[in-house]
A and B are shown apart, each in its own frame.
Chain A
Amino acid sequence: MMKLEDYKVAFAAVGLVGVLILASPTLGLVLHLPGGERFSELWVLGPGHMAEDYPFNVRENESYLVYVGVGNHMGSSTYYVVYVKFRNQTEPLPDALNGTPSVLDPLLEYRVFLRDNEVWEREVLFSFEGISFEGNFCRVSSLVVDGCVLNVDKSAVWDEENSGFYFQLFFELWIYNGTVSDFQYHNRFVWIWLNMTVSI
């Protein structure tokens, strides 16, 4: 037969468990467990809405389609800006190691507000105007994005190693920091390589 002291311990244990169960709604209000990792996503997809078949060999006055998307997992609503930039091979890309953006001016921007765990995605339809070839140089006058004619006026030198005139269309993700009331580069960028070719 169990001793009275053993029963006392059993009653105390039952009492403690019961109190914890009854207090759990209040404890839930007071105690905040740390959430998961906070991060943002940025992606670019090809015309089939997959990470394949990206536009590569491009010609003047032909339209190309990619999808650009942003995912918010920052734990609260977030204000993003996606900058669209265009460069030739010699111009700087963002520095992923130092977390600095490209110094190139954005051609276009998308302002996006997302709640936590929400995603935003849009079609980006682009084409080129005024592509000219002269010797080892290729010059692009304008990039047309979603019907907006953007003056780029960039030249690329013939890349012998990869046989092409290469340019890069890239998207940078910036995030609004309410503490400093300004946008900060969020150290995320995605790109597609484009090889300018002669129209047939």
Chain B
Amino acid sequence: MSGLLRRRPEGFAWLLLVLMVAGLLSFGPLCVRGTGDASASVGEADVAVRQAFNATLDAERAGANVSGLILRLNEAGGILVEAEMALGNGNSSEAASKAGQCIGIAESVKGDADVLKTSALDEAQTVFWTSLTFPVVGIAVFVAVLVLVWRRFKRGYVRKMLGLKPEVAHDEA
């Protein structure tokens, strides 16, 4: 190397230049890829939070108590905002890390929401059949009792009518 430097200094300068350009070309895509990866991660986190919210909404419509899930979604939303800000400030590694954290929470919320939805649907079905059975039985008993009372009342009424003595009325006019 020192021989080359002594013998052909221009050649060495060219070699250095080529190496520098090659280094820059290989580093450039790495930087771009780093930002691109972080951007993709933040995008994935955004989608994960939306999906988690949709699952939470489905669980709520099924009748589940989603208070805990909403708290965790707020946590995920806050982290997502931090990830977006880090990305905007050019801090790709922090953006990617925050996005990963956000995806983790969102996926766990989605999983829990699905479980809650299933159990809420089962519970709702039980409640529905219970609410249907008791009134049907109650109505049947009530109507039967009412018919019996009516028959008894009717019999008593007729007997009472038959037992009445005719009265003779005088026409004053």
Binding site for B on A (CB under 8 A): 4, 7-8, 11, 14-15, 18-19, 22-26, 28-29, 76-77, 79, 108-115, 148, 176, 178, 181
The complex places the Cα of A4 from the Cα of B151 at a distance, in Å, of 12
A19-B142, A25-B134 known; A113 vs B50 contact (CB < 8 Å): no
A77: chain B residues at CB < 8 Å are 53, 56-57, 60, 66, 70
Are the C-beta atoms of B142 and A26 separated by less than 8 Å? no
B residues in contact with A176, CB < 8 Å: 50, 53
Query: Is the pair A113, B73 in contact by a Cβ cutoff of 8 Å?
Result: yes
Instruction: Give the docked Cα–Cα distance between A29 and B131 (Å).
Output: 8
User: Known: A4-B154, A25-B131, A76-B60. Contact between A113 and B139, CB under 8 A?
Assistant: no
Q: Which residue of chain B is the closest to A27 with respect to CB atoms?
A: B135
Q: Mark B143-168, 1 if CB is under 8 A from A, else 0.
A: 10010011001100110000000000
Identify which of residues 54-81 in chain B touch chain A, using a CB-to-CB cut-off of 8 Å. 54, 56-57, 60-61, 66-67, 70, 73-74, 77-78, 80-81
- Asked if residues B153 and A7 are in contact (CB atoms below 8 Å), the reply is yes
- Can you name the residue of chain A whose Cβ is closest to the Cβ of B54? A178
Q: Count B interface residues, CB 8 Å.
A: 37
Q: Are B142 and A18 in contact (CB under 8 A)?
A: yes
- Dominant secondary structure of chain B at its interface with chain A: helix
- Verify A25–B135 contact, CB threshold 8 A: yes
Instruction: Determine how close the nearest CB of chain B comes to the CB of A180; give it in whole angstroms.
Output: 11
Complexed CA–CA distance, A8 and B151 (Å): 10
**Apart from A18-B146, A113-B53, A115-B67: 18 A-B pairs, beta carbons within 8 A:** A7-B154, A7-B157, A15-B146, A22-B135, A25-B131, A26-B135, A77-B53, A77-B60, A79-B53, A79-B77, A109-B81, A109-B84, A111-B74, A111-B81, A113-B73, A113-B77, A148-B85, A178-B57
Interchain Cβ contacts under 8 Å between A and B, 21 examples: A4-B158, A11-B153, A15-B142, A18-B139, A19-B143, A24-B135, A25-B135, A29-B128, A76-B57, A77-B57, A79-B77, A108-B85, A110-B81, A112-B74, A113-B73, A113-B77, A115-B60, A115-B67, A176-B50, A176-B53, A178-B53
Contact B131 A26 (CB under 8 A): yes
- Least Cβ distance of B129 to chain A in Å? 10
**Docked pose: A111 CA to B81 CA in angstroms:** 7
Q: B3 in the interface, Cβ–Cβ < 8 Å?
A: no
**Which 5 A-B pairs give the minimum distances between C-beta atoms?**
A111-B77, A113-B73, A22-B138, A26-B135, A79-B53
A112 touches B77 (CB 8 A): yes
User: A76 — which chain B residues lie within 8 A by C-beta?
Assistant: 57, 60-61
Closest A residue to B60 using CB positions: A77
Q: Which residues of B are found within 8 Å of A115, using beta-carbon distances?
A: 60, 66-67, 70
Asked if B74 and A113 sit within 8 Å, CB to CB, the answer is: yes
A23 contacts which chain B residues (CB < 8 A)?
135, 139
* Bound-state Cα–Cα, A113 to B77, Å: 8
B169 at the interface (CB under 8 A from A): no
Within the assembled complex, what's the spacing in Å between the Cα atoms of A11 and B132? 25
Complex: A76 Cα to B53 Cα, angstroms = 12
